[in-house]
Amino acid sequence: MAYNLLKGKRGIIFGALNDQSIAWKVAERAVEEGAQLVLTNTPVACRMGTISQLAEQTGSTVIAADATKVEDLEMLFSEAMQVLGGKIDFVLHSCAMSANMRKKRPYDDLDYGLLDKTLDISAISFHKMLQVAKKLDALNDFASVLALTYVASHRTFFGYNDMADAKSLLESIARSFGYIYGREKGVRVNTISQSPTYTTAGGGIKGFDGLFDFADRMSPLGNANADECADYCVVMFSDLTRKVTMQTLFHDGGFSNMGMSLRGMTQYNKSFIDENTDKDTGKIIYG
């Protein structure tokens, strides 16, 4: 159901690779709510992915840009203002990549060149896009800027590797830039901390199936999916959230405030009983 929440607004959406991408769902929802969009991704992703399909479907323009390159971002924001006919009202940063994860380098054997890349693509690019937008005065007063993050920025999750450090930095950039941009132009800068979601980036996380199932069992509302994340992004882009800034907003079915759930305990007990039961008597061995 559409509410015209973004009627007349202009947005830039980074990171729609394929129809599983969270950014893809956000683009679809934003247009349903009346927005006009520029879609962007790396030149390679624009060639290899299916972003042109999304552009056709949503009546959007694709402008390729590597989010780690300041000159690409300057070109992107300048051209986006021309194409859309004015300053930008909302931006979604939905970019992440860990080459250490791809190369299966564990956290205590990181390649530091690859760590630099992880931090640049997944976090510092957010600073670069905010700084470029501010220098070009490309955002309207009270614009809304969002990036997607994950709870491993606050608490340790097996297998999340150097991406945990990137997400901590990403959230810190949202606070630091949010202060300056808010004070000067009323621009809101927030991150949304999303449940595990089946996407290309999500699938790259070690033990993702287990992580997904664990989070789902622990969350009273269950995991939030990509469509639900898109709904939340739309609300955050809208004028209904004008005083929300510098926050990490958890969109995770309640996971981040849980310790143990009944569904989690039930699953845990299954393996506990299996591993600790005397095969002959069926009694639990306590020590």
Ligand X SMILES: NC(=O)c1ccc[n+]([C@@H]2O[C@H](COP(=O)([O-])OP(=O)(O)OC[C@H]3O[C@@H](n4cnc5c(N)ncnc54)[C@H](O)[C@@H]3O)[C@@H](O)[C@H]2O)c1
Q: Contact positions toward ligand X, by CB under 6 A?
A: 14-15, 17, 21-23, 41-42, 45, 66-68, 94-97, 121, 148-150, 194, 196-197, 199-202
CB of 121 to ligand X, least distance (A): 5
Q: Which is nearer to ligand X, 185 or 258 (CB)?
A: 258
Q: Which is nearer to ligand X, 95 or 101 (CB)?
A: 95
Q: Which is nearer to ligand X, 150 or 255 (CB)?
A: 150
Q: Which residues contact 265 (CB under 8 A, 6 or more apart)?
A: none
DSSP state string for 231-268: HHHHHHHSGGGTT--S-EEEESTTGGG-S--HHHHHHH
CB of 286 to ligand X, least distance (A): 38
CB of 197 to ligand X, least distance (A): 4
CB of 219 to ligand X, least distance (A): 13
Type and span of the H or E element at 88: strand 88-93
> Closest CB to ligand X belongs to which residue?
202
Q: How many separate helices (H) and strands (E) can be counted in the chain?
A: 12, 7
Q: Which is nearer to ligand X, 149 or 238 (CB)?
A: 149
Q: Which residues contact 81 (CB under 8 A, 6 or more apart)?
A: 87, 88, 136, 138
How far is it, in rounded angstroms, from Cα 135 to Cα 121? 21
CB of 276 to ligand X, least distance (A): 33
CB of 167 to ligand X, least distance (A): 7
Query: Dihedrals φ, ψ of 192, to 5°?
Result: -110, 125
Q: Which is nearer to ligand X, 127 or 185 (CB)?
A: 127
| Measured distance between the N- and C-terminal CA atoms of the chain, rounded to whole angstroms | 57
How far is it, in rounded angstroms, from Cα 24 to Cα 209? 22
Q: Which is nearer to ligand X, 3 or 198 (CB)?
A: 198
